[in-house]
Amino acid sequence: MRPMQARTIAWLLAAFTLAACDGVGRSLVDIEKSLPSPGLKLECRKPPICAAYAPIELPVNIPGKLVLPVSLVGCEGRVEVCAPDIAADEDAGTDDCGEPRDLSELEMLAGQDVACRELSFAIPDDGAATWSVPRLRLSRVNLSIEAKRAVTIELPEALIADAFIQLRGPITLAISNARGVTDARVRSGLSASGAPIVMLRESKAERLAMAGRDGGTFEGEVRIVRSELVDSQLNARSIELESVAVTKSQIEAERFDATDVRFDIARLFFTRARISATDLNIVEIARCGALSLLQSAAATSSFAACSDEPARMYGSKLHEVWVNGAIEADKTVFDVARFGVADSVEILGWDANINVSMFCGADDRLQLSGGLVECTACDGDSLAEDESVCNMPMGFRSQRNSCMNLIRAPMCWPPLPVRMRPEVLK
């Protein structure tokens, strides 16, 4: 071989070698680790047993459902205004205590310390629509505000500790950039004029309690944005959370919307819910009417059967979960799941993966199009009926399953519909 040819071949070999490197000779792929070892045998993890979900234990200091005024024992000499609306009998008149103050007096408290007081304010029928009271500090205060028209009360940079606030009428209470909200209790009173709205923005609330009269539902809306909620209990008609961290809390709502939320140890009750881009860690969904779960993750959590319509899960990942009731899953992964422990499941899935899981319900049903079922077992009579498992037009793949019907599932008949989703425009 001529010297020039040898040098050319050497350069070509070097070029092929560097093609698999980062430019300085380091391998982009660990080739040895990427190759299977001779005789390697893939084994399944053991599926979970059909044990019931252990109820979540919330802290003992979480507020109770009955939202009551703050005790002012020891403050009698400093109480300046009697507010009968927040007494035990909310229907009592004002004859013995005088008329409520004008709300303009509340504005005068900006930047002030208000402690050991009982205050009642009435919003005039005309005048300003927004009232701002910055840097208000409330401690051991019972505050009642009533309005017959829509108004907004802003409390920027407030410091609220051990305070009771009652809102009657279409009042929006906006708390933002709070320096602290601790042991705050907010209650909606009876009013024919409308329901209140409470907004918490860029604040941290500890032991926050919200409810209606006699521990019922807060009649208005609760909106919490870019905030933190700890050891709290909310019971409202409508609750919206956006970019919120919720820890050791209980939330109950007729309409619940959570976006970009992290739950750590929580119990949820709702009639209708939409949960998106959210992490649920040790969460018990104890009551569900209807649920849409989108692009979310759940771990060590329990999903009660939804009573009104199937729970719909899109593009989500669930690990070590308890799943009950009717489910429609699209591109969702179930890993180490217990299906049907409390209520038998009926799963309708498109490109859904089920890994290392256990079917527990006697009447469980599984209908899949695409996806993979792997290392999954059945307890007792679960999925034992011939028609309990079937393939939709694009059959699912089955690997190393112990249920006979998962191994050789027939086609569904009559044929089930294809994915109920608009086609992506190309």
* Model confidence pLDDT, tens digit, residues 54-90: 988 888 778 887 888 998 887 754 444 443 343 333 4
The predicted pLDDT at position 19 comes to 44
Q: Check if the beta carbon of residue 17 is closer than 8 Å to that of residue 24.
A: no
Residue 6 confidence class, pLDDT cut points 50, 70, 90: low
The pLDDT tens digits of the residues spanning 305-326 come to 999 999 999 999 999 999 999 9
| pLDDT at residue 424, rounded to an integer | 52
pLDDT of residue 420: 60
| pLDDT > 70 in the chain, percent | 81
Predicted local distance difference test score (pLDDT) of residue 393: 72
Kindly tell me if the per-residue pLDDT of 174 is higher than 90. Answer: yes
What pLDDT is attached to residue 89?
37
In tens, the pLDDT along 143-167 reads: 999 999 999 999 999 999 999 999 9
- How far is residue 2 from each of residues 8, 21, 241, measured CA to CA in Å? 10, 29, 75
pLDDT of residue 105: 76
* Terminal-residue alpha carbon distance, the chain: 55
Helix (H) or strand (E) holding 13: helix 3-19
In whole angstroms, give the CA distance from residue 176 to residue 185. Answer: 17
Give pLDDT, residue 86: 39
Q: Give the mean pLDDT of 395-405.
A: 88
Q: Are 401 and 376 in contact (CB under 8 A)?
A: yes
What's the confidence (pLDDT) of residue 142?
95
pLDDT at 109: 85
Higher pLDDT, 58 or 376: 376
Residue 38 has pLDDT above 50, yes or no: no
pLDDT above 70: residue 28? no
d(CA 311, CA 273): 10
Give the residue ranges of DSSP H helices in 357-416: 404-407
92 alpha-carbon distance from chain centroid:
39
Cα(286)–Cα(280) distance, integer angstroms: 14
Lowest average pLDDT, out of 39-43, 65-69, 245-249, 386-390, goes to: 39-43
What rounded mean pLDDT belongs to the chain?
A: 84
Q: Residue 384 has which token pair?
A: 């034992």
Q: pLDDT value at position 175?
A: 98
Length of the chain measured in residues: 426
DSSP code of residue 49:
P
